[in-house]
Amino acid sequence: MHNLVYLLLRRMRLPLIIVILAYAISILGMVLIPGIDDQGNPWRMDFFHAFYFVSFLGSTIGFGEIPYPFTDAQRLWTMVAIYTTVIAWLFAIGSLFSLFSDPAFRRILSYTLFTRAVRGIREPFYLVCGLDDAGHLLVHELAGHCIRTVVIDNRESRVQALKLDDLPVYVPALCADAADAATLSAAGVNSRHCRGVIALTDSDPVNLTIAITSKLLSPELQVICRSESHDSEANMASFGTEHIINPFDTFARRFALMLKSPSMFLVYEWLTSIRDAPLREFAAPPKGTWVICGYGRFGKAIQKALSFEGIHTVLIESDIEKTAAPEGVIVGRGTEAITLYEADIENADGIIAGTDDDSNNLSIIITAVGLNKNLFTVGRQNRGSNEAIFNAARLDVIMQPGAIISQRIVALLTTPLLTDFLRLARQQGDSWANILVSRVIGVLTDRPPDSWTISVDAEQAPAMLEMIGKGNDVTIGMLCTDPRDLTATLPCVPLYLQRTADEILLPGNDCVLQPGDRVLFCGRQGARTYMRWTMNNFNALNFISTGEDRPSGYLWRWLAERHASR
Amino acid sequence: MNLEKVFFAFFIVLALTLNFGFFLGDLGDPDHHNVYELFAALVVSLIATVMKFGDRAHIGAVLLATSLVADLQLIAAVLVWGITVYGLETGLTPPIMASIVSLSGGALLANIISVVILVTETVMYRR
Question: What is the ipTM for the molecules in this complex?
Answer: 0.71
Contact flag A17-B51 (C-beta cutoff 8 Å): yes
Measured between alpha carbons, how far is A222 from A194 in angstroms, rounded to an integer?
Answer: 9
Q: Nearest by CB to B50, from A7, A8, A16: name it.
A: A16
Chain B residues lying within 8 Å of A10, measured CB to CB: 53-55
Residue A444's pLDDT band, with cuts at 50, 70 and 90, is: confident
* Beta carbons of A290 and A309 less than 8 angstroms apart: no
* Beta carbons of B33 and B101 less than 8 angstroms apart: yes
Q: Nearest by CB to A10, from B36, B53, B78: name it.
A: B53
Question: Whose CA is closest to A235, among A205, A215, A203, A201?
Answer: A205
Asked if the model's pLDDT at residue A116 lies above 50, the reply is yes
Contact flag A20-B43 (C-beta cutoff 8 Å): yes
Asked if the model's pLDDT at residue A218 lies above 70, the reply is yes
Which residue of chain B comes nearest to A31, CA vs CA? B36
Asked if the model's pLDDT at residue A13 lies above 60, the reply is yes
* pLDDT score, position A30: 92
3-class state of residue B87 by DSSP: helix
The separation between CA B49 and the C-alpha centre of its own chain, rounded to angstroms, equals 10
- As a whole number, mean pLDDT of residues B117-127 equals 75
Contact flag A20-B54 (C-beta cutoff 8 Å): no
For B45-83, how does the pLDDT look when each residue is reduced to its tens digit (9 = 90+)?
999 888 888 777 778 888 889 999 999 999 999 999 989
Domains of chain A: 2-100 (1.10.287), 122-245 (3.40.50.720), 256-414 (3.40.50.720), 445-546 (3.30.70.1450)
Measured between alpha carbons, how far is A304 from A284 in angstroms, rounded to an integer?
Answer: 20
Question: Whose CA is closest to A403, among A434, A371, A381?
Answer: A381
* Beta carbons of A547 and A537 less than 8 angstroms apart: no
| Cα–Cα distance list, A54 to A1, A42, A83, A130 (Å) | 35, 21, 11, 56
Query: DSSP H helical segments within A283-427, as ranges?
Result: 297-308, 320-323, 337-342, 358-371, 387-392, 401-414, 417-426
Question: Whose CA is closest to B100, among A15, A302, A47?
Answer: A47
- pLDDT higher for B17 or A540? B17
Asked if the model's pLDDT at residue B127 lies above 50, the reply is no
Chain B residues lying within 8 Å of A12, measured CB to CB: 50, 53
For A14-43, how does the pLDDT look when each residue is reduced to its tens digit (9 = 90+)?
999 999 999 999 999 999 999 898 888 899
B86 touches chain A (CB under 8 A): yes
* Beta carbons of A276 and A290 less than 8 angstroms apart: no
Which residue of chain B comes nearest to A5, CA vs CA? B54
* pLDDT score, position A84: 93
Chain B residues lying within 8 Å of A6, measured CB to CB: 54, 56
The alpha carbon torsion through A231, A233, A234, A235 (nearest 10 deg) reads 90
Contact flag A20-B86 (C-beta cutoff 8 Å): no
Q: What is the mean pLDDT of chain A?
A: 87
pTM of the prediction? 0.73
For A552-564, how does the pLDDT look when each residue is reduced to its tens digit (9 = 90+)?
666 767 777 787 7
User: Which residues lie closer than 8 Å to B18 by C-beta, 6 or more apart?
Assistant: B37, B40, B41, B44
Asked if the model's pLDDT at residue A1 lies above 70, the reply is no
Measured between alpha carbons, how far is A47 from B96 in angstroms, rounded to an integer?
Answer: 17
Kindly give the interhelix angle for A2-11 and A72-100, rounded to the nearest 10 degrees.
Answer: 150
Percentage of the residues of chain A whose pLDDT score is greater than 70: 98
User: Which residues lie closer than 8 Å to A206 by C-beta, 6 or more apart?
Assistant: A129, A130, A178, A179, A199
Cβ–Cβ pairs < 8 A, chains A and B? 44
* pLDDT score, position B125: 65
- Interface residues on A facing B, Cβ-Cβ cutoff 8 A: 6-13, 16-17, 20-21, 23-24, 27-28, 31, 46-48
Region for residue A474 given its phi and psi (left: phi exceeds 0; alpha: psi -120 to 50; beta: otherwise): beta
Domain ranges, ordered by start, for chain B? 3-125
Q: Nearest by CB to A20, from B39, B46, B54: name it.
A: B46
